[in-house]
Amino acid sequence: MCPCGVSHVSAGRGPVRARTNPAAPARPGAALALSVCRRGSAARPLCGRRRRAAGGREGGERGEAGGEPGEADCGGDACRMSFKKETPLANAAFWAARRGNLALLKLLLNSGRVDVDCRDSHGTTLLMVASYAGHIDCVRELVLQGADINLQRESGTTALFFAAQQGHNDVVRFLFGFGASTECRTKDGGTALLAASQYGHMPVVETLLKHGANIHDQLYDGATALFLAAQGGYLDVIRLLLSSGAKVNQPRQDGTAPLWIASQMGHSEVVRVMLLRGADRDAARNDGTTALLKAANKGYNDVIEELLKFSPTLGILKNGTSALHAAVLSGNIETVALLLEAGADPALRNKANELPAELTKNERILHLLRSKEGPGKNEFGSTLDR
C-alpha cells in the first residue's frame, strides 16, 4: 500500500511506441514486418491509468502521493510492450494482435518464424495483447494455434485478467472454453474477478462467478471484490456479489469496510443497499474514523441521510472527535444542520478539549450551533452564572 493509503495491483506497464533497429541486418521475409513496425511507431499507448468512480463523486482528501486515502486499485495499468529485445517479426505480430489485424497475424504465425507464445521483456504474450484489446478473432486464432492461456507476465497478469479488466466478456467466455484459470494472481494479489469488479463490468463478473471464481478473493491488503465495487459505486455488481455470498462487513487490513469506502466516495445508493444488507453503520477504520465521520467531513449529505436512518453514533468516536466536529471543520452548514437535527450534541468536546463552535469562524454555523445549545449555556458550552 502506498503512503496515501491506496492499495495497488500492478498489471505491469502499458504499451509504448514500437521501435525497430534501423541498423539491424535485413532478413528474408522481414520487409513486411519492418514496415508494419514503423507504421505502428506512432501508435498511442494501449492503456493509461484508469481510475474512476462511476456514479459517485471525485476528489476529496488527498494523501501524500496524491491518491484517495483508503482507495484500492486492482490494476489500472495494462499490457505495455517493451519493443526492445524482440525481433522485427515478433514486433509485427504484437502490432497485429493489438490492432486486430487477423490476416497479418495469421501470416506471421504460419511463417514458422514467430512463436505463438513469444514474449517481450515484461513477459507479455500475443494472447495477452489481443485479449486486452478485445479482438476475439485474434484471440481465437492464437488459442487454436496453441497459445498457452494461463501464461503470466512478470507482474502475474494473464490474458483472462486483461480481458476481465477491460470488460471483454466474449473473450472471457472463449478463454474459459479452453481452460483459463481464475486462480492466477498478480504480484499484489489481483485476480480477474477483482479487476472486473473494480471497473464495474457486470457481465464479466457474472461469467467469472459462473466459472468458479472465488467471491472471497482479496488483494494482499485485504480489499475484496465487494470493496472494489463499492469504491467505484457499481450498484449492479454490488447486488450480484452480495447475492452470491460476499461478506458485507469484510474489511481491509487497515480496517476499512466497504460501507466506509462507499461513504468516502459519496455513493449514497451503495450505502443504502449495504445498510439494508446488514452493513455495520459504526464500523471504524484502524484510525477510528467511521462512515458518518467521512461523509460529514466531505459534505456528502445524501450519504449522511442514509446513514442517519440507521442511527449511527453521533458522539465522540475512538479517535477522539465526532461527526459534528468534522462537519464544522469542513464548513458545510447543511451538513452541520443535518447532524444537529439528528441529535448531535454541540456541547461535546473532542480529544483536544475543543467544542465544535471553537473550530470555525463562520457566523452562520456559529449561530446554528448556538441555537441548538441547551438553556443556561453560552456559545462555548459553559454554564452561565445566574
Q: What is the pLDDT of residues 117-169, one digit of tens each?
A: 999 989 999 999 999 999 999 999 999 999 999 999 999 999 999 999 999 99
What is the distance between the alpha carbons of residues 159 and 181, in angstroms, rounded to a whole number?
10
- Residue at 219 is within a domain: no
Q: In terms of domains, do 143 and 13 share one?
A: yes
Grid coordinates representing 318 are 475512538
Q: In terms of domains, do 261 and 296 share one?
A: yes
- Residue at 373 is within a domain: yes
Whether residue 86 is predicted with pLDDT greater than 90 in this model: the reply is no
Give the pTM.
Answer: 0.80
- Residue 188's domain is classified under what CATH number? 1.25.40.20
Query: Looking at this protein, which amino acid is placed at residue 358?
Result: E
Q: For the chain, what percent of residues have pLDDT higher than 70?
A: 74
Mean pLDDT score, 320-328: 98
Q: In terms of domains, do 163 and 260 share one?
A: no
Higher pLDDT, 383 or 94: 94
Query: Looking at this protein, which amino acid is placed at residue 241?
Result: L
- Reported in sequence order, the residue ranges of the chain that DSSP labels E, i.e. its strands, are 7-8, 72-73
Among residues 232, 221, 159, 173, the alpha carbon closest in space to that of 197 is found at: 232
What is the distance between the alpha carbons of residues 346 and 373, in angstroms, rounded to a whole number?
7
- What radius of gyration, in Å, describes the C-alpha atoms of the chain? 26
Q: In terms of domains, do 362 and 376 share one?
A: yes
Q: In terms of domains, do 287 and 199 share one?
A: no
What is the distance between the alpha carbons of residues 155 and 77, in angstroms, rounded to a whole number?
11
How open is the CA angle 307-313-316, to the nearest 5 degrees?
A: 135
Q: In terms of domains, do 81 and 180 share one?
A: yes
Whether residue 74 is predicted with pLDDT greater than 70 in this model: the reply is no
Number of H helices, E strands in the chain: 18, 2
> Among the listed ranges 45-59, 170-184, 359-373, which one has the minimum average pLDDT value?
45-59
Q: Which residue has cell 483459463?
A: 180
Higher pLDDT, 375 or 151: 151
| Residue that is last in its domain, among 289, 309, 329 | 309
What is the distance between the alpha carbons of residues 51 and 302, in angstroms, rounded to a whole number?
23
- Residue at 25 is within a domain: no
Which residues constitute the domain of residue 149? Answer: 1-20+31-214
